[in-house]
Amino acid sequence: MYIMSITSAVEARKTVLSKRNTKTAIIRLKTDEPWDTLKAQLLVKINEALGPSLMQYDCYDVKFYIPRVIPKPGLSLTSETEYDVMMMKARKLKDLTINITVVQIRSDDNKENGAEDNDAEEQANSKTKKKYVRPAV
């Protein structure tokens, strides 16, 4: 069983972890499934959670950790070799639960959202700053 935490690029930019809106998903696969099957299932869950316009595995920072075996933040999960290492560690466990963290690192939406975020931030800053107005003489 894989427990996924999926964070969009916009949410990942938030400095306070408690303010981030992270989506979760669960995948159940057999331990003998090939790398491409897991990769495809991850992309399906990412699509369901974020609905990105660009669905490429390279657009996400994917890591895995196994409680009591591989600590957080975990190891990268970008290739078949890394997948094989993960499965080698996982097969030794009775309770097979692997945690996967997915953070969107780039998307087409970032260009538009980045401009909107900057405008909103500037407006918020201008509202909080008080301007000194010189009294009329």
Q: What is the CATH number of the domain that holds 7?
A: 3.10.20.90
- Does residue 137 belong to any structural domain of this protein? no
- Does residue 32 belong to any structural domain of this protein? yes
- Does residue 133 belong to any structural domain of this protein? no
Bridging pattern class, strands 98-104 and 2-7: parallel
Domain span at 19: 2-127
Per-residue pLDDT tens digits for 83-117: 999 988 888 887 788 999 999 887 555 444 444 44
Per-residue pLDDT tens digits for 3-29: 898 888 888 888 776 677 889 999 998
- Domain count for the chain: 1
Per-residue pLDDT tens digits for 23-78: 999 999 888 899 999 999 999 999 999 888 878 888 899 999 988 888 888 889 99
CA–CA distance, 119 with 53 (Å, rounded to integer): 23
pTM: 0.69
> What residues are paired with 93 via a beta bridge?
none
Sheet holding 60-66, edge to edge: 23-27, 2-7, 98-104, 60-66, 70-76
